Amino acid sequence: MRTPAGFECRYFYGDYYRGRSQEECRLIGNAAPPHHWTPDICKVCPVPRIERANACQNMKITPTVQRGLFGLKKSIKIHTYCTLSQQEVAEPEVGCGQCHPLPPIFTESK
């Protein structure tokens, strides 16, 4: 579904049927304030970018909403983990490197 920031994200849910205005992020969930989800967080969220670059089903994304200096600005810090290789993923856009290896035509040198 399209987020308030204009990106497609599978974790965003909006119910606008018959005048309703319910929006939520199903990845962040209902955390206690001040670490809760608000629609303005979608502008700085890296999850849609990661999902577009890497659609690996083995990579689990765990977000944390953080407050900036004086609590004025929210940001999202993510932790990614690969359940197949059992290791943290350093570059979520690329992946762990073991789930989807490159074909031999790209790795062989001539």
User: Model-level pTM?
Assistant: 0.79
| DSSP, residue by residue, 64-86 | EEEE-GGG--EEEEEEEEETTTT
Tell whether the model's pLDDT for residue 110 goes beyond 70: no
The number of C-alpha atoms within 13 Å of 110 and in the hemisphere containing its C-beta is 2
pLDDT per position as a tens digit, 9-67 = 999 999 988 888 889 999 988 877 878 888 889 999 999 999 999 888 999 999 999 88
